């Protein structure tokens, strides 16, 4: 699980939580994910991370296409 440096300590991000949490992840310039296909990353294989869509500027990639997208700086992924 990724460390969230500015996370509120009272928030619970565990899989046992019964409520649904939707998170936007933004790819920063220093990310090791830049240039990687989503299918080739640890994010795709994580059973607790369900990536619903990726937004790149004005483009939106849905579940059918997100696996083949090569990630770029400022891409935003919507995760359930």
Domain, as residue range, for 49: 23-79
Distance between terminal CA atoms of the chain? 14
Does residue 4 fall inside a structural domain? no
Does residue 8 fall inside a structural domain? no
Does residue 18 fall inside a structural domain? no
For the entire predicted model, the pTM comes to 0.65
Give SS3 for 74.
coil
Does residue 38 fall inside a structural domain? yes
Least confident of 16-20, 27-31, 49-53, 71-75: 16-20
DSSP-derived letter for residue 32 is T
Give the model's pLDDT for residue 1.
45
Give the containing element (helix H, strand E) for 44: helix 42-45
CATH of residue 75: 3.30.70.1450
Measured in whole angstroms, the distance separating CA 53 from the mean position of its chain's CA atoms is 9
Does residue 51 fall inside a structural domain? yes
Measured in whole angstroms, the distance separating CA 65 from the mean position of its chain's CA atoms is 15
Give SS3 for 51.
strand
Does residue 62 fall inside a structural domain? yes
Number of compact structural domains in the chain: 1
């Amino acid at each position: 699980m990724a460390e969230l440096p500015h996370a509120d300590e009272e928030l619970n991000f565990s899989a046992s939580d019964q409520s649904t949490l939707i998170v936007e992840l933004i790819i920063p310039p220093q990310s090791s994910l830049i240039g990687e296909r989503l299918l080739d990353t640890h994010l795709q294989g994580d059973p607790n991370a369900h990536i619903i869509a990726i937004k790149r500027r004005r483009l939106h990639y849905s579940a059918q296409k997100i696996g083949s997208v090569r990630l770029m700086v400022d891409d935003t992924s919507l995760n359930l």
